[in-house]
Chains A and B, each alone.
Chain A
Amino acid sequence: MAGKTLYDKLWDDHLVKQRDDGSALIYIDRQLLHEVTSPQAFEGLRLAGRKPWRLDANIATPDHNVPTTDRDKGVEGIVDPVSRIQVETLDKNCDEFGILEFKIKDQRQGIVHVIGPEQGATLPGMSIVCGDSHTSTHGAFGCLAHGIGTSEVEHVLATQCLVQKKMKNMLVKVNGKLAPGVTGKDVVLAIIGKIGTAGGTGYAIEFGGEAIRGLSMEARMSICNMSIEAGARVGMVAVDDATIDYVKGRPFAPKGETWDKAVDYWRTLHSDDDAEFDKVVELDGSAINPQVSWGTSPEMVTGVEGSVPDPEQEADPIKREGIVRALKYMGLKPNQKITDIQLDRVFIGSCTNSRIEDLREAAAVVKGRKVSPSLKQAMVVPGSGLVKAQAEQEGLDKIFIEAGLEWRDPGCSMCLAMNADKLGQGEHCASTSNRNFEGRQGFGGRTHLVSPAMAAAAAVTGHFVDVRELMN
Chain B
Amino acid sequence: MAKIGVFICHCGENIGAKVDCTRLAAAMGEHPGVAVSVEYKYFCSDPGQESVKRAIRDNNLTGVVVAACSPRMHEATFRKACAEAGLNPYLCEIANIREQCSWVHTDKDMATEKAMDITRSMVEKVKRNNKLQPIEVPVTRRALVIGGGIAGIQAALDIANAGQDVVLVEREPSLGGHMAQLSETFPTLDCSQCIMTPRMVEAAQHPKIRLLTYAEIESVDGYIGNFKVRVRMKSRYVDLDRCTGCGDCITKCPAKKISSEFDCSLGKRTAIYTPFAQSVPNIPVIDKANCIYFKNGKCKICAKTCQCDAINFEMQDEFIELEIGAIVVATGFQVQNNTMYGEYGYGKYPDVINGLQFERLASASGPTAGKILRPSDGKEPENVVFIQCAGSRDPSKGVRYCSKICCMYTAKHAMLYAHKVHDGKTNIFYMDIRAAGKGYDEFSRRAIEDDEASYVRGRVSKVWQENGKLMVRGVDTLLGRPVEIAADMVVLATAMISQPDAKEFAKTIGIGYDEYGFYNEAHLKLRPVESSTAGVFLAGACQSPKDIPDSVAQASATASKVLALFSKEKLEREPVVATNNEATCAGCWGCVLACPYNAIEQKDILDRSGKIIKRVASVNPGLCQGCGTCVTFCRSNSLDLAGFTEKQIFAEVMGL
- A pairs with B: no
Interface residues in chain B, defined as those with a beta carbon under 8 Å from any beta carbon in chain A? none
